[in-house]
Amino acid sequence: MLNLKEIQLQYVTNQAGEKTAVLLPIEGFQELMEDIEDLAAIAERREELTVSHDALLAELKRDGLI
């Protein structure tokens, strides 16, 4: 997860000194995009039924995966 306190952000300002944009290192941008993709996947799957841990383990064992 991206920690904004660790990223050295740079701001673009207009002539009045108001912040209009932000620059961040490419690594920070990539982490941010991954976090957004993860959150989107979670949101899409929000309505899916859940399975207990024990049931999942039993299914994996039954299928010979563990």
pLDDT in tens, 31-62: 999 999 999 999 999 999 999 999 999 999 99
Q: Distance between CA 11 and CA 17 in Å, rounded?
A: 10
From first CA to last CA, the distance across the chain in angstroms is 30
Residue 2 located in a structural domain: no
Give me the number of domains the chain comprises. 1
pLDDT of residue 5: 80
Q: Answer whether 0.75 is exceeded by the pTM.
A: no
Position 51 scores a pLDDT of 94
User: Is residue 38, in this structure, part of any structural domain at all?
Assistant: yes
For residue 15, being part of any structural domain is answered with yes
pLDDT attached to residue 3: 78
Own/partner contacts of 34-43, CB < 8 Å, gap of 24 or more, are: 35/1, 35/2
Residue 5 lies in a domain: no
Range of the domain at 17: 10-62
Residue 3 lies in a domain: no
With respect to residue 1, please indicate whether it lies within any of the assigned structural domains: no
The residue count of the chain comes to 66
Structure tokens at 49: 């039924």
